[in-house]
Amino acid sequence: MSCCAPGTDVALPLDRAGPSRDELHLASRSLGDGLWQTDLSVPDVHCGACIRAIETALGRLEGVERARVNLSTKRVSVRWRGETAPSLVDTLNALGYPAHLFDTDAKVRDETLAELIRAVAVAGFAAGNIMLLSVSVWSGADDATRDLFHWLSALIAIPALAFAGHIFFSSAWNALSHGRMNMDVPIALGVSLAYSMSLYETIISGPHAYFDAAVSLLFFLLIGRTLDHLMRERTRTAVNGLAKLAPRGAMVVRRDGSRDYLPLAEIEPGMRLLVAAGERIPVDGFVVRGSSDLDCSLVSGESVPQRAITGTVLRAGMLNLAQPLTVEATAAAKDSFLSEMVRMMEAAEGGRARYRRIADRASALYSPVVHLTALLTFVGWIAATGDWHRATTIAIAVLIITCPCALGLAVPIVQVVAARRLFENGIMVKDGSAMERMAEIDFAVFDKTGTLTTGAPVLANTGDTDPDDLAVAAAMAAHSRHPYSKAIVAAAGASAPVAFDAVDEVAGNGIEATRNGTDWRLGRADWAISTTRDNLPEAQGTVLSRNGVAKAAFRFEERLRPGAEQALAEMKARGIGIELMSGDGQVAVAAIADRLEIDRFRAEVLPGDKAAHLAALATEGTRVLMVGDGLNDAPALAAAHVSMAPATAADVGRNAADFVFLREDIGAVPLAMDVSRKAGRLIRQNFALAIGYNLLAVPIAIAGHVTPLIAAIAMSVSSLIVIANAMRLTVRTMRTDANTAMRREVRPAPLVSAS
């Protein structure tokens, strides 16, 4: 229905006045550059009118840059600047929305759903019994029997209205008492008038009463509201499940070797954590000691366990399967990957999308228009017939049948379902406007490294390298975090460790080490060697040398992301133009473009040039999707019509992107397009259904051909149809099996530098 029942968040045990400004400041999260975010729980928010009132009032406060309301979680997120927090709570209290600090860790039963189910049961029981009595009246009961049945109906309706109807009455009263209107006002007014007129008719032994209409209206409205709540709660359950992947704390290994178990909130970047087998990674970090297998399925959707060795980057929520790991934290819990994904998922419903803005404006006009229409209908029928009873009955029918519930649900219910479908397939979306923009694209620009390719090079000639040489190279490479060094370490696997007397990394050249008076070098050929070995006459790229003599040469290769060829083929089949744009060299970029059959590509492009190119495409009327992952892609991601990044992207890249896909499979890109286009079609269908219903029903009601009972049923059915239409959103499931995960290989031009 038009209003969403409160979520299951729990307010902290504060007094009615709410937290002070100092408490708000302490509870706020710093976003950097003097910007803060405060999250408040506002249980009484119900509908689009509530959202608009809250966002408008908070947006007027000094220092507030943005205020957003999430209807599913009943959360208000406010971003502000200043020495102290603005008067957020006082402003909300003045509006009639008591606010408290939002507690994401509270675990409670879903009281709202239980309340809605009880209300549906009471209203359904009352409606069924009153309907049976009404059938007897319609069948021709005489005057005394008819009056008895009307009185029985009135008595049955009283507890139904008091218990089941208080959800609407309390919301409407709260709005009116603070000088506002919401979508519950016409509902409460229509029910009250229908019951009052029916009671008057019963008292004077009139022939018609509409107790069945009043109670049936509540019954159908509550069914729709319960369905709406369940759909939103399903999405929120996914968010909560994601948040619960993080443990409550972690074992911290101090510099002196001592260990302390600290709560997750106290973990700071730079701390070293001991993660035992069977435990989840608590925060983002990388392995500094140990090797193990990781279950990444709940974070990235990959079903095949991933190997973790020294230097492997870890995401919060991954499950350590085999051996203990010592991990160095790179982010606090509130800034970790899981926390970012939770925030993105919660934001998916709260965006100020174009369709939602249209619905909000329509809903804002709807309540006064509904009441004015009902009033004019009453005045018109009084003037035409002089029969106030008939005029009142028709006006009540108009008031009920024009309730804007279906219009209020047209956009958010589709966005909730679409966000859930994307989440199930490992795709996070920031807000509904991103889906709308994704549905409009006609051109896609892809970055190469880390986007179309995995970004991490692998050693291509492991089988041609002497195992002893590879072990030495791996022991040296373990002291560097260069991608080539990581590839050598990964290729060596569990080879016997080699001890050196000294190891030093020479910036721009490579690594040099000494062992028993022997000098070893791993890196650029022109730096590492002075004489080549007989079987390495053309040693180049990355080589291992002993006392200036080349021992081994290493060749690296890039690998395409799983599903890259199929994903691009799908996009081309839909008429989407494709372009490859990278900062890499011409030969390497051309090799990937040829492998993927991309006709348009640009190489050696600077970050500023990427953004400028997208701006030029936009001026030509092209709506561009940018898919990239690196720090250098952030300006282009922000400049594009819509953007997408893998979860492995740099933090700034993920923040700039509208979508983030968690799986390795780049098939997430056409899948997001598919879901977005389907969601757009369903939203337009819902608008058409809501508007068409009113264009058809309102004139009939004004003409006096609809009773309050028929109006109640028609209005409720229109909302149920909108919900059912949103549920039609289906998604093809992305599958990444072990064979696909092996990734196809692409061998670009010879490499010129190494560590």
Asked whether the beta carbons of 272 and 288 are under 8 A apart, the reply is: yes
Q: Catalytic site residue 447?
A: yes
Which one is catalytic: 447, 584, 629, 674? Answer: 447
What value, to the nearest 5°, has the Cα angle with vertex 204 and ends 200 and 205?
110
Q: Kindly report, residue by residue over 562-596, the tens digit of the pLDDT.
A: 888 899 999 999 899 999 988 777 887 888 888 88
Q: How far is the C-alpha of 606 from the C-alpha of 602, rounded, in Å?
A: 10
What's the confidence (pLDDT) of residue 479?
83
pLDDT of residue 577: 93
Helix (H) or strand (E) holding 491: helix 483-492
CA 103 to chain centre: 19
Of 145, 165, 116, 203, nearest in space to 712 by CA: 165
- What confidence score (pLDDT) does residue 634 get? 67
Low-confidence ranges of the chain (pLDDT < 50): 1-16, 105-108, 238, 301, 303, 345, 348-353, 534-535, 537, 735-755
Determine the Cα–Cα distance for residues 148 and 337; give it in Å rounded to an integer. Answer: 66
- Residue 214 CA to residue 17 CA, distance in Å, equals 37
Residue type, 525: A
Range 728-731 contact pairs with CB under 8 angstroms and sequence separation of 24 or more: 728/682, 729/414, 729/417, 729/418, 729/421, 729/675, 729/678, 729/679, 729/682, 730/421, 730/678, 731/421, 731/422, 731/424, 731/425, 731/671, 731/674, 731/675, 731/678
Q: Label residue 227 exposed, middle or buried (CB < 10 Å: 0-12, 13-18, 19+).
A: buried
**Per residue in 226-248, pLDDT tens?**
766 665 565 555 455 555 555 66
* H or E element that contains 646: strand 642-646
Could you count the other beta carbons within 10 Å of the beta carbon of residue 561? 22
β-pairing verdict for 272-275 and 249-253: antiparallel
Q: How far apart are CA 472 and CA 474, in angstroms?
A: 5
Q: Which residues pair with 325 in a beta bridge?
A: 275
**What single string gives the DSSP state of each residue in 275-326?**
E-TTPBP-SSEEEEE--EEEE-HHHH---S-EEE-TT-EE-TT-EE-SS-EE
CA distance 583 to 609: 10
pTM reported for the whole predicted model: 0.56
Task: Identify the structural domains of the chain with CATH numbers, from first to last.
Answer: 10-103 (3.30.70.100), 111-239+346-415+679-726 (no CATH), 255-335 (2.70.150.10), 428-454+560-673 (3.40.50.1000), 458-557 (3.40.1110.10)
